[in-house]
């Protein structure tokens, strides 16, 4: 097992009726920026619950944070906080809103141009504005980690930021909010969480036995509940297990002591930046192609995954690994995931060139758990995904 440090200070408040605890979680004299997305929190009564729980607080609202939150929008929130001298942020929404608030938290007191947080990947160690979250859309695990992905509209890029100062102070996670979600969003959430686990699990055999078993249990649970919760999001048993899987998939636990990949995400982010494809759907497009292109270095773990998660009985490693990929593709299709870039856009012919050029410019020439996903491999993966 690799050496590791595990730090996660988030106070996770999980279950029905937990919104009433907001006033105990936020300082009584806080001046709050209430940040949210497109307005679904008004339709599902979450906004009413939040404002009722925070009666008497000084609240300024900021709506319109996009899916794949845009730097340009977030900087408007930064300016608003500075003008009104606010001192706490409450993110109410899914991973995009929470990611956006993490960047806002980092940018408010940042000395220098906040774009450098993204372009220079500056780790935020201190001096971030405190924030909490009310999760309404399970998917990214952002409610219990310190990372964020931000879109820069002017250059059509998705860039990351993070650091120990960007953990939420608390996150309220009420699975009842899942009931109002559209089927597409639930499908996306299941596949997002599934692929998060795969990025940390599907590498090569190692000595971290417990991390593998935890990862496999999350995958098995998502396979078991995924189709059902997409069809019936009001089923509390399914919704609560779905929400907890999404959190556990990316709260840092299964990543500790193990090699990780993340190339699927790095490539997928570019498809979202270029074509606006839902994040989870880019992962479903890229992951099977990556497993095939990198088959020789991943086949042992693919075979383990096939045996333990899909109950494949084939003993030949190559055959078991190929069956595991096929089972994964089948599951993605069951969850409503189209498999090709061409199913989203007709203007895809130069996609590989664009992505490879961007990776070359950023110096991303040795990705993956072995550092062997070169830009040539990236080209092959993307072209296989057309």
Kindly report the CATH number assigned to the domain that includes residue 87. Answer: 3.40.50.1970
238 and 370 fall within a common domain: yes
Q: Which two tokens stand for residue 233?
A: 């999001």
Domain extent for 166:
11-177
Cα gap 134→143, rounded to integer Å: 8
Is residue 118 in some structural domain? yes
Is residue 3 in some structural domain? no
189 and 294 fall within a common domain: yes
Walk along the chain (386 residues) and give the pLDDT tens digit of each residue. 999 999 999 999 999 999 999 999 999 999 999 999 988 899 889 999 999 999 999 999 999 999 999 999 999 999 999 999 999 999 999 999 999 999 999 999 999 999 999 999 999 999 999 999 999 999 999 999 999 999 999 999 999 999 999 999 999 999 999 999 999 999 999 999 999 999 999 999 999 999 999 999 999 999 999 999 999 999 999 999 999 999 999 999 999 999 999 999 999 999 999 999 999 999 999 999 999 999 999 999 999 999 999 999 999 999 999 999 999 999 999 999 988 999 998 989 999 999 999 999 999 999 999 999 999 999 999 999 99
Is residue 71 in some structural domain? yes
- Residue that terminates a domain, selected from 177, 192, 212: 177
- Order of all β-strands in the sheet with 31-35: 11-14, 170-173, 131-137, 88-94, 31-35, 58-62
99 and 200 fall within a common domain: no
Which class for 105: exposed (0-12), middle (13-18), buried (19 or more C-beta within 10 A)? buried
230 and 163 fall within a common domain: no
Of 259, 321, 268, 316, which is closest to residue 296 (Cα–Cα)?
Answer: 321
Cα gap 318→306, rounded to integer Å: 11
Of 380, 386, 381, which is closest to residue 344 (Cα–Cα)?
Answer: 386
Q: Which two tokens stand for residue 315?
A: 């003993």
**Structure confidence at residue 39 (pLDDT):** 81
265 and 349 fall within a common domain: yes
204 and 277 fall within a common domain: yes
Is residue 60 in some structural domain? yes
Cα gap 329→332, rounded to integer Å: 5
Cα gap 358→3, rounded to integer Å: 32
- How would you classify the pairing of strands 147-152 and 157-162? antiparallel
Of 191, 196, 185, which is closest to residue 144 (Cα–Cα)?
Answer: 196
Instruction: Give whole-number Cα distances, 160 to 163, 199, 339, in Å.
Output: 11, 16, 25
Cα gap 79→74, rounded to integer Å: 9
- Is residue 172 within 8 A of residue 21, CB to CB? The reply is yes
Where in 7-87 does DSSP place strands (E)? 11-14, 31-35, 58-62
131 and 256 fall within a common domain: no
For the chain, how far is it from start to end, CA to CA, in angstroms?
Answer: 38
Phi, psi (deg, nearest 5) at residue 273 = -60, -40
DSSP-based three-state secondary structure for 373: strand
Is residue 32 in some structural domain? yes
Cβ-based neighbour number of residue 171 at 10 Å: 22
Cα gap 202→251, rounded to integer Å: 17
């Amino acid at each position: 097992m690799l050496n590791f440090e595990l730090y996660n200070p988030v106070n996770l408040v999980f279950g029905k009726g937990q919104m009433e605890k907001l006033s105990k979680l936020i300082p009584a004299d806080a001046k709050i920026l209430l940040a949210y997305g497109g307005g679904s929190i008004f339709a599902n009564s979450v906004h009413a619950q939040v404002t009722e729980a925070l009666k008497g607080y000084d609240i300024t609202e900021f709506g319109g944070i996009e899916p794949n939150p845009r730097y340009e929008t977030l900087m408007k929130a930064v300016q608003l906080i500075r003008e009104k001298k606010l001192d706490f942020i409450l993110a109410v929404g899914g991973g995009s809103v929470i990611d956006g608030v993490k960047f806002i938290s980092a940018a408010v007191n940042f000395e220098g141009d906040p774009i450098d947080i993204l372009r220079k990947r500056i780790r935020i160690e201190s001096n971030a504005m405190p924030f909490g979250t009310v999760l309404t859309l399970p998917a990214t695990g952002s409610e219990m980690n310190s990372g964020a992905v931000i879109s820069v509209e002017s250059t059509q890029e998705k860039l990351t930021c993070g650091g120990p100062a960007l953990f939420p102070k608390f996150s309220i996670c009420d699975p009842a909010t899942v009931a109002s979600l559209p089927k597409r969003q639930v499908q996306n959430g299941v596949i997002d969480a599934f692929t998060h686990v795969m990025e940390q699990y599907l590498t090569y055999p190692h000595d971290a036995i417990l991390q593998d078993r935890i990862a496999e249990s999350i995958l098995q649970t998502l396979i078991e509940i995924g189709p059902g919760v997409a069809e019936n999001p009001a089923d509390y048993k399914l919704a609560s297990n779905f929400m907890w899987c999404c959190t556990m998939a990316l709260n840092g636990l299964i990543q500790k002591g193990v090699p990780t990949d993340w190339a699927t995400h790095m490539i997928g982010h570019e498809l979202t930046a270029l074509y606006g494809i839902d994040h989870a759907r880019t992962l479903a497009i890229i992951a099977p192609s990556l497993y095939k292109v990198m088959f020789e270095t991943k086949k042992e773990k693919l075979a383990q995954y096939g045996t333990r998660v899909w109950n494949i009985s084939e003993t030949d490693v190559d055959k078991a690994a190929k069956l595991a990929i096929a089972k994964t593709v089948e599951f993605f299709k069951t969850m409503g995931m189209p498999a090709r870039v061409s199913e989203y856009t007709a203007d895809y012919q130069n996609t590989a060139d664009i992505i490879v050029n961007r990776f070359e410019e950023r110096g991303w020439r040795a990705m993956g758990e072995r550092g062997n996903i070169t830009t040539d491999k990236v080209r092959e993966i993307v072209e296989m995904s057309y």
